[in-house]
Amino acid sequence: MPEPEAPALRVTVEGIARDAKAGAVVIVNGERICSRARARGRRGWAARASACGVLRERKVIPDPIAPDGTIAAGAVGSQHVLEAPSWSKVP
């Protein structure tokens, strides 16, 4: 039986915005919070930013070990995901 999904929270996070394989990320105190959507018009952006959206913890990036045992790019465990984010640059 799958684990129940944690309750969603509407949050605003502020940190360094970057582009990553999983989508846009905001790095807050060393923790990556990813958004499956790209930050429009911000490709290669590496600046202070804030993002407001619904924060969930769930598995979005595949594990780094494939079912046949080969090692691949990925991430172990679940990720913090910001859904439907709105982005703004922070001075």
Per-residue pLDDT of the chain in tens (91 residues, 90 and over written 9): 555 666 778 999 898 888 777 677 888 888 777 775 555 555 556 678 888 999 888 888 888 887 788 888 888 888 888 888 888 888 8
Q: How many helices (H) and strands (E) does the chain have?
A: 0, 5
- Residue 1: which residues within 8 A CB-CB, separation 6 or more? none
* The pLDDT value given to residue 62: 82
CA distances from 10 to 49, 52, 54, 75, 83 (A): 17, 7, 4, 25, 9
Residue (of 26, 21, 32, 30) closest to 88 by Cα position: 26
* Residue 40 located in a structural domain: yes
* Residue 70 located in a structural domain: no
* The pLDDT value given to residue 38: 52
**Residue 30 structural domain:** 1-46+54-62+76-91
- Residue 44: which residues within 8 A CB-CB, separation 6 or more? 19
* The pLDDT value given to residue 43: 55
* Residue 67 located in a structural domain: no
Give the total number of structural domains in the chain.
1
* Residue 80 located in a structural domain: yes
* Residue 14 located in a structural domain: yes
* Residue 7 located in a structural domain: yes
* The pLDDT value given to residue 21: 72
